[in-house]
Amino acid sequence: MTTMDAYGEDSALIGERQAAARALMLRPLLTVATHPADLALVRTHAEWLIQRFQRVLGYRLTITDDHARLYKRGTGALAPEPVRRESGTRFTPRTHTHLALALAVLVGTVEDGTVQELAAAVHEAAREAGVDADPGRGAGERRAFGAALRHLVGLGVLTELSGTVADHVADPSAEVVLRPHTQAARSVAAHLPRPGQTPESFLAEADGSDPEGDQAGETALRRMLAEEAVVLRENLPDRQRERLVAHQWRAASALRNLFGCDTEIRAEGVALVMPEEAVDGHGFPSQDPVGRVALALLNHLSGRLAPGHPATSVPVPDEELRAALEALTGADAPERAEWERTAGPEIPDPVRMPALVTDLLNRWGLLRGGPGERHLAAAAARYGAEAGTRVPPIPDNDEDGGEQEGERDQW
């Protein structure tokens, strides 16, 4: 084998490992029913992935024949993506109740069964737990139960063998047969509370964003960089801000080697830039309708308000935001007609779309605050123009590598 052949083989191997790592970050639960190709790639590189996730981010990874589960801690565990219906609306407390009860049943279920049998088991589990929930009690309760089951189908915890959950929601007598995947069901809940824990103590224990030790602090910084669209210096506590200055180049190197990403380091903060193919509707910007409108909104607001010259954020007048959202999300928006001609994801109606767009940008820290006090982060400007200075490829020195200094431009 020539040197060039060996280099090509090594590059392909590295690319596969990084693609597998990105897949796990986008979907911490991969199942054979929903993402067989990604799961096969993860299983091929299991040892490397398990070691690297633990070493770089302190995340535990388990891999079985039918699923892989990445257990996140710290920043990612404290502020997860909200669970939503297919329409984009968030789960209500009632739907969350049915989701928890269904999982409580499915962790011990190994045989195929009808949706009516599962509903009866959920009702019994609710009775034993002293919870008022009955999937058979009216259309509203059945819709909440159905939304929970459709979410589990999407995760690969349930497979619809005959009929669909939607059939049952429309007609409670419809014959629907489901196959449970017990091991995957047991991996859905990443960190269960201990007996006697309060919600406050559970969340406090899960928050590892500002630990005391330097090594733990650097791991927490890497988690923030990997999980958030932008880490702004002004939002960090003093201790973590100092660590970011001292270790940002080493963190960039470690994350590049794990994910194959670039890193932008600016005066305002730090952001990872993933390869385009890694953004599969789960990152930002994404290609689903809400993500595309959010990107168009950023383009518009960045051009009008010029964030980052030199402020780290600029106020967004409510009228400016309202007018832009109406043009981009209204029933007459040109993009809506284009989406309706394709077989893509469900398109939220014009009434709900503005809230979904602003919620998405809030979650990514690009549009902060509420009505009357919204601010556009300087990092939003990068989505209106080609990215500027990025960290160049540097060797894998996340064990004891030296630091690099460089000029930090503004976004």
Residue 82: inside a domain: no
The DSSP annotation for 164-195 comes to -HHHHHH-TT---EEEE-HHHHHTTSSSPPPT
Hey, which residues does 180 pair with through a beta bridge? 158
State phi, psi for 408 to the nearest 5 degrees: -105, 110
Do 18 and 68 reside in the same domain of the chain? yes
Average pLDDT over residues 385-410: 41
Average pLDDT over residues 82-105: 87
Q: Exposed, middle or buried: residue 58 (CB in 10 Å: 0-12, 13-18, 19+)? A: middle
Residue 194: inside a domain: no
Per-residue pLDDT tens over the stretch 123-169: 999 999 999 999 999 899 999 999 999 999 999 999 999 999 999 99
Do 112 and 161 reside in the same domain of the chain? yes
15/199: higher pLDDT: 15
pLDDT value of position 40: 96
Q: Name which of 40, 21, 39 is nearest 30 in CA terms.
A: 39
The DSSP annotation for 108-160 comes to T--S-EEHHHHHHHHHHHHHHHT----TTSHHHHHHHHHHHHHHHHHHTSEEE
Residue ending a domain, among 186, 216, 244, is: 186
Do 244 and 312 reside in the same domain of the chain? yes
Q: Mean of the per-residue pLDDT values for the chain?
A: 82
pLDDT greater than 50 at residue 394: no
pLDDT greater than 50 at residue 391: no
Residue 167: inside a domain: yes
Residue ending a domain, among 153, 186, 219, is: 186
Provide the domain limits for residue 403: 208-411
Do 24 and 152 reside in the same domain of the chain? no
pLDDT greater than 60 at residue 399: no
Do 25 and 123 reside in the same domain of the chain? no
Q: What percent of the chain has pLDDT over 70?
A: 81
Q: Which residues contact 245 (CB under 8 A, 6 or more apart)?
A: none
Number of structural domains, the chain? 3
Per-residue pLDDT tens over the stretch 349-379: 778 888 888 888 887 778 888 888 898 888 7
pLDDT greater than 60 at residue 387: no
Do 317 and 358 reside in the same domain of the chain? yes
pLDDT value of position 340: 56
Least confident of 6-15, 101-110, 114-123: 6-15
Residue ending a domain, among 20, 43, 73, is: 73
Do 293 and 157 reside in the same domain of the chain? no
Residue 236: inside a domain: yes
Do 120 and 257 reside in the same domain of the chain? no
pLDDT greater than 90 at residue 339: no
pLDDT greater than 60 at residue 392: no
Residue 104: inside a domain: yes
Hey, which residues does 270 pair with through a beta bridge? 231, 265
pLDDT value of position 407: 38
pLDDT greater than 50 at residue 406: no
pLDDT value of position 269: 85
Do 383 and 331 reside in the same domain of the chain? yes
Indicate which CATH number applies to the domain containing 106. 1.10.10
Biggest CA pair distance of the chain: 70
Do 157 and 249 reside in the same domain of the chain? no
Residue 179: inside a domain: yes
Residue 54: inside a domain: yes
Do 384 and 313 reside in the same domain of the chain? yes
pLDDT value of position 308: 63
Give whichever of 82-91, 303-312, 389-398 has the largest mean pLDDT: 82-91
- For residues 74 and 204, is the Cβ–Cβ distance under 8 A? no
Residue 63: inside a domain: yes
265/395: higher pLDDT: 265
pLDDT value of position 80: 62
Q: Name which of 91, 93, 49 is nearest 70 in CA terms.
A: 49
